[in-house]
A = this chain, B = another copy of it.
Amino acid sequence: MDRAHMDVKRRRVAKGGQAERAGSRDPERTRASILAAATAEFAENGIGGARVDAIAERAGTNKRMLYHYFGDKEQLYLAVLEEAYIDIRTAEKSLNLSDLSPEQGVAELAMFTWKYFLEHPEFLSLLGTENLHRARWLRQSTRLKELHSHFIDKLADLLDRGKAKGLFRVDADPLNVYLTIAALGYFYLSNQHTLTTIFGRELADEANLEAWKRHIVQVTLASIRR
């Protein structure tokens, strides 16, 4: 056999759109590939419906590696959840609300959140799964408790500026504002399949998505304006 002489340091190029498959002898990539495959599998099937064999196959590797890197199915799920939260909080950091007027800042936060939810359906799905289990894994996670919401403070500052200018109600609460934004986006997207089936409006159509984004901004601002 001369297979040993081939494939030296040559790495497979990831095919567009698909999760990267594990390369040979590249632990970093194998780990990442398993995590990506697990994210998709857990998001599509929930924790009870996800299959360890399916994850290994999607990752282009085998179960042994999955257990090698992540311990067991539950720890792998936790790693997926942690990564998902870290990703959104990291993305939120790119928002610079302090440069904007209070109204623009709230509008920007609402549009950012909407866009993030729209582009990351797997995040919404994982949230749903985690809540089904009453945040059992999230509560365990030490990593995520620290993550907290430094970001609620930034929103509080924004609201305070608006209150000082007499634009916003003095009782406007930052967590309530965020919950309002998140609720309107989350429900529309995560429940779109049952809603579309029952009410017969194609919620996923471009025009409807755009209209709902405007609706979120309008509603959020209306709820805090004096």
Contact = CB atoms under 8 A, between A and B. Distances in A.
Interface of A: 44-50, 125, 127-132, 134-135, 138-139, 144-145, 147-149, 152, 175-176, 179-180, 182-184, 186-188, 190-201, 215, 218-219, 222-223
13 contacts: A44-B132, A45-B48, A46-B46, A46-B129, A49-B49, A131-B191, A138-B193, A147-B198, A148-B198, A179-B188, A183-B184, A183-B187, A219-B223
A148 B199 CA distance: 7
Contact of A138 (B135, B152, B179, B198): B198
B193 A184 contact: no
A196 B135 contact: yes
B152 A194 contact: no
A132 B131 contact: no
Nearest to A89: B198
Contacts of A188: 179, 183
Nearest to A218: B223
- In the A-B complex, the 5 residue pairs with the closest CB atoms: A48-B49, A183-B187, A48-B48, A135-B193, A222-B222
A197 B49 contact: no
A176 B208 CA distance: 11
Q: How many copies does the complex hold?
A: 2
Contact of A194 (B125, B135, B215, B218): B135
A135 B180 CA distance: 25
A199 B149 contact: yes
Given A183-B183, A219-B222, A129 B131 contact: no
Given A45-B48, A131-B191, A135-B196, 13 more contacts: A125-B132, A127-B194, A128-B190, A130-B193, A131-B193, A138-B193, A179-B188, A180-B184, A180-B215, A215-B223, A218-B223, A219-B222, A222-B222
Contacts of A147: 198
A134 B46 CA distance: 13
Nearest to A178: B199
Contacts of A176: 215
Contacts of A46: 46-49, 129, 132
A193 B125 CA distance: 15
